[in-house]
Homo-oligomer: A and B are copies of this chain.
Amino acid sequence: MTNFLSLADVTDLDALIQSGRDAKTNPFTDQHLGKNKTIGLLFFNSSLRTRLSTQKAAQNLGLNVITMNVGQDSWGLEMEEGVIMDSDKAEHVREAAAVIGRYCDIIGIRAFAGLQDRELDYKEQVMNQFAKYANVPIVNLESATRHPLQSLADCITIEEAKTKARPKVVLTWLPHFKPLPQAVANSFCEWMNARAHSGDVEFVVTHPKGYELAPEFVGNARIIYNQDEAFEGADFIYGKNWSSYTHYGQVLTKDPSWAVTMDDIRRSDNGKFMHCLPVRRNLKVSDQVLDSPHSLVIEQAANREWSAQAVLKEILKSL
């Protein structure tokens, strides 16, 4: 694996999921792989789980870790080509990426969507520019349109918890007062569509009208606008808020009836609740659901360590 930017970089998804589960059982068996190697983790945005779990996974593999809050520890990076650099951005990504690539064997990057300019966000400038100029593997720690380490952790979690061969997985939009990126939802669709294609899950998406995700992500997933109907027989209810893609970055509704409660769980087939965290309690999902045995959110977050370890192991093997 030379980069981990999206599902397209995964050649064998089943093997990658299994590798994560193996790491969970035996975290320290591959420590020789990272010896005298360094991963640099660049955060253009805040992080808790990603920061901790990626660092932990790297250390499990014997890697040195250098973490940097770009902009805070350093300065703004210019991503556009050919410009006269007279703004507040003091360094061009061409230099920054190439230089960091000389110090680090792998670079992980978090850079959220700005939610102002859909075209700009969806061309994934930060990831692509780093991939172009760094000359070392790039790991997506959540980009403008994707969060593949989360999606891999989600796959691991579903594999662990499923009670039937082909569980029904429902992605549901949840209400929120702030506009959030589509990255987690996009990525989840991308990965679940692959799992559906291989017959491992049945995948359904439910959201209010106006919250349709980008066609290249939602693909052939079945859309059901009626949440109650979508939840019928669900084995996994995967909650997430996102802002509108069509009315880009806007909050079109905060309808509280879309929040997940125990009534929704009862409508499902003894369904499990998943959410990537952070989650706003009683706004997006009730305390009762989160504090019940139906909730997988902690296990799902814990699996972030193992999804990162599976990916870093693949990359280290290819260095």
What residues make up the interface of A, taking CB atoms closer than 8 Å to B? 27-28, 36, 38, 40, 43, 46-49, 51-53, 55-56, 59-60, 64, 66, 68-69, 72-75, 78, 82-86, 90-92, 94-96, 98-100, 102-104, 177, 277-283, 287, 290-291, 297-298, 301-302, 305
Contacts and interface: CB of A to CB of B under 8 A. Distances in A.
Given A51-B66, A56-B64, A99-B301, 14 more contacts: A28-B36, A38-B59, A43-B73, A48-B100, A49-B99, A51-B73, A51-B74, A56-B104, A69-B73, A83-B281, A92-B280, A94-B281, A98-B301, A102-B305
Contacts of A278: 75, 90-92, 95-96
A47 B75 CA distance: 8
Given A282-B84, A290-B94, A297-B95, A52 B68 contact: yes
A252 B56 CA distance: 48
Nearest to A259: B84
A16 B303 CA distance: 37
13 contacts: A46-B74, A69-B72, A82-B287, A84-B281, A85-B282, A91-B277, A92-B280, A95-B277, A95-B278, A95-B279, A95-B298, A98-B298, A103-B302
Contact of A99 (B38, B69, B103, B302): B302
Contacts of A302: 99, 102-103
Contact of A301 (B66, B95, B287, B305): B95
Given A102-B298, A104-B52, A302-B102, A46 B75 contact: yes
A66 B48 contact: no
Contact of A90 (B64, B82, B280): B280
**Interface residues of chain A: helix, strand, loop or mixed (majority):** mixed
A279 B95 CA distance: 8
Contact of A66 (B27, B56, B86): B56
Contacts of A69: 72-73
Nearest to A305: B103
A283 B55 contact: no
A19 to B, nearest CB: 19
A162 to B, nearest CB: 21
A239 to B, nearest CB: 13
Given A36-B28, A51-B68, A74-B51, A283 B84 contact: yes
Given A46-B75, A99-B298, A298-B95, A280 B52 contact: no
A66 B55 contact: yes
A104 to B, nearest CB: 7
A291 B75 CA distance: 22
A78 B177 CA distance: 17
Contacts of A290: 94-95
